[in-house]
Amino acid sequence: MTAKSNQTARGTRPLSEKHHMQIPWYDVIVSEERQADHATLEERASLVGRVGIMLLACGTGAWRVREAMNTVARALRMSCSADIGLIS
């Protein structure tokens, strides 16, 4: 992949070429004044992902992590498809 083709839609941040892509969670929020349910898709997806990562970091089981992510996603008018397991 060339450096030019390895850019995001914004053209500011190169995409990861690793198998497990790093997500810059700290660099997503565009406006702190906007409510979560009116945020951009990128911001809402970041919130759902953060919930999953926080629960996994605490040792929560995969089923509960998926359930929590689905609950947050529904509240944000999204659908969530997360594959969480030892093999995936």
pLDDT digits (tens, 9 = 90+) for 11-43: 566 655 655 556 666 666 666 777 877 888 888
Residue 6: what pLDDT? 47
CA 60, CA 6: separation in Å to the nearest integer? 34
Domain ranges of the chain: 40-77
**DSSP class of residue 12?**
S
Q: What is the rounded average pLDDT for all residues in the chain?
A: 77
Tell me the β-bridge partners of 5.
none
Calculate the alpha carbon distances from 86 to 3, 26, 48 in Å.
33, 26, 20
pLDDT at 44 over 80: yes
Q: What is the mean pLDDT of residues 47-71?
A: 92
Provide the whole-model pTM: 0.65
- Coil, helix or strand for 63? helix
